[in-house]
């Protein structure tokens, strides 16, 4: 008899996992039946061959901590000597370490990922921007750029990077040579291009600047100041969505239409940061929801749920084969989601 099949009517049975993807240190909720302790014996879980502790269990729900070293595989619950049916969980794996991203990583047309070693404000680092090749090899790409923050690729194939220390946006060639693109934007943080080639830049004091292809700078919209940085992303309709982390647990994602009119896209998040869209216009944002941290998926109908559970996340980007790259405060992780991301360059 298979050890993965219930052997009695009281054996645990799993119906679903929420979410079905996590980072090490994240929490997954199991839903099913017979998930509570049996007498004095607490249940536990396993992911593949790795022990995973149960933090909380009730008859129809249990919370499992994803341990360090876990890899994607079958999750089962062990209770009173019996084992539940398996359900597949996707676990993010380390991709690059010893970094300091403060916003989304970005990916170029060849599938290479770019991220920052940003440092504290005014701190110079030996390498400012790294390139992570398709085989996960990390190589220096840009030096001598103070506090790189927001990253975006233009239609010209060049990388654009904001410096929150200088209020400047730099243009970086495919070989890593930097030149000044625009100056005078306060504490410049998040950046994003629209379909017409205009570049938008968030100033932490509350201004969203618009820079047209002729490099003329305009004030596009004004928000309340952010305690950290602004993060920008365009949806399929061309509406600019903006997050700016605050101390509130009921934070909004702002929506700004093409004329600069401001509205609320979604409210109810904690410390919302980097964002990305899939091809179905679902928004993925690094944030807290109902006290749990991770990547939150928000549908076009404004319905929110967790896509990935994990701590210390600041952003993400989608790459090929339905995968995503997740940025924490000091590393990048790679996870398979079966989600196709929308191109950031129309």
| Domain termination site, one of 49, 69, 91 | 91
Mean pLDDT of 114-143: 94
For position 2, what pLDDT does the model report? Answer: 43
* Judgement on whether residues 71 and 138 belong to the same structural domain of the protein: no
CATH number at residue 21: 2.60.40.10
Contact 320, 311 (CB under 8 A): no
* Judgement on whether residues 269 and 322 belong to the same structural domain of the protein: yes
Could you list the residue range(s) of the whole structural domain that residue 141 is in?
Answer: 95-336
Residues 197-223 have pLDDT tens digits of: 999 999 988 899 999 999 999 999 999
Residues 251-281 have pLDDT tens digits of: 999 999 999 999 999 999 999 999 999 999 9
Residue 41, classified by CB atoms within 10 Å of its CB into exposed (0-12), middle (13-18) or buried (19+), is: exposed
| Domain termination site, one of 91, 109, 136 | 91
Residue 70 within any structural domain of the chain: yes
* Look-up of token digits 């997954």: 28
Residues 72-92 have pLDDT tens digits of: 999 999 998 899 999 999 999
- Split at pLDDT 50, 70, 90, the class of 70 is very high
Contact 138, 98 (CB under 8 A): no
Does residue 142 register a pLDDT over 50? yes
Mean pLDDT of 242-257: 87
* Judgement on whether residues 210 and 78 belong to the same structural domain of the protein: no
- Split at pLDDT 50, 70, 90, the class of 346 is low
How many domains is the chain built from?
2
CATH number at residue 170: 2.130.10.10
Does residue 6 register a pLDDT over 50? no
Residue 343 within any structural domain of the chain: no
* Angstrom distances, CA of residue 320 to CA of 100, 137, 222: 24, 17, 35
For position 224, what pLDDT does the model report? Answer: 83
């Amino acid at each position: 008899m298979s050890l993965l099949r219930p052997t009695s009517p009281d054996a645990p049975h799993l119906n679903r996992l929420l979410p079905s993807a996590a980072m090490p240190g994240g929490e997954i909720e199991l839903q099913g039946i017979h998930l509570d302790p049996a007498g004095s014996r607490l249940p536990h879980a396993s992911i593949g061959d790795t022990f995973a502790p149960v933090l909380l269990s009730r008859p129809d729900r249990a919370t499992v901590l994803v341990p360090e070293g876990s890899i994607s595989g079958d999750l089962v619950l062990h209770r009173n000597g019996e084992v539940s049916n398996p359900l597949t969980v996707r676990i993010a794996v380390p991709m690059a370490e010893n970094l300091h991203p403060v916003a989304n990583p970005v990916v170029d047309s060849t599938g290479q990922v770019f991220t920052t070693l940003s440092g504290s404000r005014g701190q110079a680092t030996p390498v400012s921007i790294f390139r992570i090749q398709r085989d996960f090899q990390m190589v220096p790409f840009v030096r001598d750029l103070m506090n790189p923050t927001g990253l975006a690729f233009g239609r010209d194939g060049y990388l654009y990077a904001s410096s929150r220390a200088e209020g400047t946006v730099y243009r970086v060639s495919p070989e890593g040579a930097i030149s000044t693109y625009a100056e005078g934007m306060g504490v410049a943080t998040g950046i994003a291009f629209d379909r017409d080639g205009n570049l938008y830049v968030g100033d932490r004091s509350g201004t969203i600047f618009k820079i047209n292809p002729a490099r003329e700078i305009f004030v596009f919209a004004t928000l309340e100041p952010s305690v950290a940085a602004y993060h920008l992303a365009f949806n399929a309709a061309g509406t600019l969505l903006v997050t700016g982390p605050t101390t509130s647990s009921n934070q909004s994602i702002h929506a700004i239409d093409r004329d600069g009119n401001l509205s609320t896209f979604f409210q109810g998040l904690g410390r919302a940061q980097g964002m990305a869209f899939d091809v179905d216009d679902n928004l993925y944002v690094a944030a807290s929801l109902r006290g749990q941290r991770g990547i939150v998926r928000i549908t076009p109908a404004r319905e929110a749920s967790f896509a990935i559970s994990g701590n210390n996340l600041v952003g993400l980007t989608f790459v090929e084969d339905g995968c995503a790259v997740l940025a924490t405060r000091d590393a990048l992780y790679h996870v398979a989601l079966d989600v196709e991301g929308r191109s950031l360059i129309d």
